[in-house]
Structure formats: structure tokens, C-alpha cells
Structure 1
Amino acid sequence: MSFTRLLTLCFFLSLTACGFQPLYAPHNSRHNTSYPIKIAAIPNREGQILRNNLVDILTPEGAPSHPLYLLDITLTEAVISTGIKKDETTSRKEAKLTAKITLKDFCTNKVLYTHSTTAINSFSIIAENYYSDLTAQQYAKREAAGLLAEKIALLIKTYLNSCHED
């Protein structure tokens, strides 16, 4: 075995010795762990989809009986025209969902963590077919809500894991 390979192997073995645990790894023991978080209701259809995705990711074993944290989310949505033709009609739009997240202590209501994150998904517009445009817009918002849920879950998991290491 060459010296470079041996040195690389030693480096990666030392990472596991210092407690390095990737958040994205499927074999991570914390991957399927339920976090003691109550997720507050979010208004509108996209809010329901976002909350349901967060429940599936953060509390896969069901709602905690004694939550330690309250996750409050303010969701704003916008549909923006991005592709404009010469005749000033739109051919492409973006569904943009922005979430302002606030993680609070459940008992004291003290704010522990705040962050804002955005998910964008684009879709095409066919001027002659209103129903397909509406369906494409709904699908784009649903996909953006799923992406936003993954981003929020990663932010919350990172915060909680960093708190427990201290």
C-alpha cells in the first residue's frame, strides 16, 4: 500500500474517532430518531403540506407526548413570471416559498433559534390550457414545500445536534 493511501485511510479513521457523524448518512443512528418537537399549525394548503412533511421527517414515530420544543413557521408564497415572450405573455413562472422558522422552548416560550429559508420551483405555462397551468402551479408549490421541509429539518437537526454536543 502506498504512503498516500495509508495517510488517507488514517485521516478518515481519525474522523470517526472524533465523533464526526454526517447528517445525510442513511446509516446514521439519529436519522430515524424522533425529536421532541411540537410543530405548530401553518395556514393555507402549502402550509399543511409543509407541516405534514416536517412531521414525517422530525417525528416519524408520532407526536411527542412531552415536547421540549415548539417549532413555529411563518410561510409566505409568491408566483413570479420569469419567461416573458415578445408578445408580453408569460411562458414560465416560479413558485417561491419562504419560511421564517422559530424554535422555542416549549415550557418557557423562550426563542432558541430563528432562521429564514427559501425554496423555488419553476413550471411552464401554456396559454391555451388554464387547467394544465393550474395543475403545474400546484405541483410546483407542492414540490417546493417538500424541498423546504427538508431544508428546515436539516437546520433544526443541525441546531439540536450542536446543542447536545456542548
Structure 2
Amino acid sequence: MSLLVNQRKRIGIKNIMKKNKRLCLLVMPFLLFMTACGFHPIYGVNKYTPVGAETKFENIYIASIDDREGQFLRNELIDRFYRSGRPTDPQYTLSFSELSESIKELGITVDADATRGQLKISTHFTLTDNQTGEILLERSLRSIATYNILASEFTNRVSEESARENVLRDLGRQTEQQLALYFKRH
């Protein structure tokens, strides 16, 4: 009886080994293909891009943007781009259109009072080559944040301002990402 059980165990193990070999043979080409897909980090330096995106950021002049929100966005980009000081002879100019802001009231109660607010800011930027005047990149950006509307007017102002700053930081992050992708491709 024990001999029969041992034979069954061996047969079961052999089948598992055969199935695993088949599985390995099926999976190995897929894994080899995935490693050769051409993935390259955006900010990294490799044989395809000897200069990283961060180096290119230091050669961008960020033009003034109107209004307080525009200056906040510009300062956010300056903090992100200029790690070792502002450029003396920039190769590119980054300019933004006027920031468009809208506030929508959400979460209306039975008394017709809003309990949530939605803040949306959108803009358009262009990257221009300073030597040729050619527009290299144009993108539209948009970011949305929500905030609570409470009984206190002061609390509402603070919540709205915090949401506005979060939206502007996100626009700065989106701008950096779009420029990094552009410089990685060109």
C-alpha cells in the first residue's frame, strides 16, 4: 500500500515539474521581450540621452505671469527648475497664457447651501527656442481641487486658498513633466 502511495506522489511531482517547465518555456520569451521594451528613465542620463532633463531645465527663462496666482506658479517653477541659480543666457523661454479660474459649488443641501466647492484653473504654455524663435512645445494644462464650505467665512477663505495653492503646485508639476518628456524625446 505504501509503495502505491509513493508511486502516486512521484507521478504527481513529475507532472508538476513538466507543467512548470512548459510554463517556464512559455513565460521566458515574454520576459525577455519585456526587458527589451526600451524603457528609459526621464531624469536619468544614459547612452541615448547624455544630458538629463534637469540640465535642460536650467536653460529655461520663465516669463512673468500676470496676477498673484501667476506669480505663485512662476515661483513654483523657479524652485523646481533652478537648482544652481537662474540662467544668464537661457536657451529657451517658457511663457504662459492668462490663468483661467472657475469655482463651482457642489453638495447642495436642502436649504440650498453648498457644502463643497470645486476650484479649477486652466492655462496654456509655450516653450520657445530663443535663437530661432521657433515654438518647440505647446500644451494646455488644467487642474482641479475641492474644498469644504463651512459656516465660518474665515475657514472658507483659508480652505479656498489652500485648494488654489494645491492646484497651482499641480500645474507646476504638470509643466515640469511635459517639459521633461519633450526634452527626453528631442
Q: Structure 1 CA distance, aligned partners of 2:184 and 2:54?
A: 14
Answer whether contact 1:100 1:114 (CA < 8 A) is retained.
yes
The one-letter amino acid of 1:148's match is: L
Compared CA separation, residues 64 and 12, structure 1 to 2 (3 A): farther
Contact 1:119/1:144, CA 8 A, preserved across alignment? yes
19, 24, 33: which one pairs with 1:11?
A: 33
**Identity value in percent:** 26
Unpaired runs of at least 5, structure 1:
none
Structure 2 counterparts to residues 1-166 of structure 1, below 5 A: 2-4=24-26, 6-15=28-37, 18=38, 20-23=39-42, 28-29=44-45, 30=52, 32-35=54-57, 36-74=59-97, 75-126=99-150, 128-163=151-186
Could you tell me how far 1:43 is from its partner in structure 2?
A: 1.9
* Equivalent-residue separation in structure 2 for 1:32 and 1:62 (angstroms): 13
Q: Distance in 2 between matches of 1:98 and 1:161?
A: 25
TM-score by length of 2: 0.74
Contact 1:33/1:59 (8 A) holds in 2: no
**1:112 and 1:124 mapped to 2: Cα distance?**
40
Task: Give, in whole Å, the separation in 2 of the partners of 1:138 and 1:146.
Answer: 12
Contact 1:79 1:95 in 2 (8 A): yes
1-structure distance, mates of 2:96, 2:26: 48
Instruction: Tell whether the 8 Å contact from 2:53 to 2:183 is kept in structure 1 after alignment.
Output: no
Instruction: Report deviation, 1:83.
Output: 2.0
The alpha-carbon deviation at position 58 of structure 1 amounts to 2.7
Report the 3-state secondary structure (helix = DSSP H, G, I; strand = E; otherwise coil) of the residue aligned with 1:92. strand
Higher strand share: 1
Comparing 113-122 with 152-161, which one deviates more in the overlay?
152-161
| Residue ranges of structure 2 left out of the alignment (5+ in a row) | 1-20, 46-51
Give the TM-score, by structure 1 length. Answer: 0.82
CA distance, structure 2, for counterparts of residue 33 and residue 108 of structure 1 = 20
Q: 3-state DSSP class of the match of 1:116? A: strand
Structure number with bigger Rg: 2
